[in-house]
Amino acid sequence: MKALCDKARVEKSKVFPHNLRHLFARMFYRVTRDIAKLSDVLGHSSMETTRIYLISTGAEHAQALDRLGLVS
């Protein structure tokens, strides 16, 4: 993984297997929108544990609200 850091322009100090697990979880959920299946794939016994992987930032929430077009 660390050998790819230079090519991807990512600091080697930020590359850990757990970071990739989080990235996988977010991408899987973005494609499937199925938290139950994601929880199974990750081997979590509770979906509450899986939700930790999907926590969004305030900026992401603001973008979603903007896309709704309800407030001008």
> Could you report the per-residue pLDDT of 8-54, keeping only the tens digit for each?
888 888 888 888 898 899 999 999 999 999 999 999 999 999 999 88
Pair of tokens at residue 52: 């930790």
Burial class (CB in 10 A: 0-12, 13-18, 19+), 50: buried
Kindly tell me if the per-residue pLDDT of 55 is higher than 90: no
What domain range includes position 28? 2-68
Pair of tokens at residue 64: 């979603």
Distance CA 57, CA 51 (A): 13
Counted domains in the chain: 1
